[in-house]
Amino acid sequence: MSFDSKVTTAKSGKSDAILDWLQMCSGVALIIFVFMHMSLVSSVIINTNIMDTIAHTYEKNYMAQIGGPILFLLFLFHFYLAARKIPFRFEGQKTIWAHAKMMHHRDTWLWIVQVISAMLILVMGSIHMWAVLSDLPITAARSAARVQSGPWLYFYLVLAPLVVLHVVAGLYRIAVKWGFIRDYQRSKLNRFATGLAVVFICIGLATLVRFMTLTA
């Protein structure tokens, strides 16, 4: 191998490492946002005034008007970084699928779950953000009216579990890939991740039920 080739390979490896680090950081930021968002919206289960007060505080400080577009850009940036490793050609997809079935490796299946859910979330998440940010201010009554109209209930019944599965799988893979969890701790991490997913899926479903039963 020539000197120029070694330099090019080293630069490429360093660039990949930086992009992987940025992917991890953007992923962590989005994971934190998703858990906070679902927790705050679920306050409607306790009292609609709590959700309205939280939403009003965010909008009063322009966190929704400014933070929304910033969040969307972060969302696209994270997808762009993750898409570097997604095989978009049919031959590559077929190979990945064959390897996953052959190896019976849980982490490989988690990666496939993340890829499939990411494609759906990219479209559905964009629709959700547009629907919310184009109809400010955010209130419990407006959110309930949207859920109760048209196909929105079915839309959120798909989107909410998809997002939870995606971020929990991402949290697991970040912990393993970056060495936060050792091999002997994986079983505990699996139980924690499964429990976390179940809890937030239940929270999401309970929130939708509350919106469906909320009257103006």
Binding site for heme b, residues?
37, 78, 128, 166
Cα–Cα distance, 145 to 213 (Å, whole number)? 10
Q: Which residues are annotated as a binding site?
A: 37, 78, 128, 166
Which tokens in the block code for residue 40? 């705050």
CA dihedral 46, 50, 52, 54 (to 10 degrees): -130
Cα–Cα distance, 213 to 61 (Å, whole number)? 30
Cα–Cα distance, 118 to 120 (Å, whole number)? 5
Residue 147 burial (CB count, 10 A): 20
Render 180-194 in DSSP notation, one character per residue.
Answer: SS-GGGHHHHHHHHH
Which of 125, 146, 132, 164 lies closest to 208 in space, CA to CA?
146
Residue 40, CB-side half-sphere exposure with 13 Å CA sphere: 15
Cα–Cα distance, 73 to 84 (Å, whole number)? 17
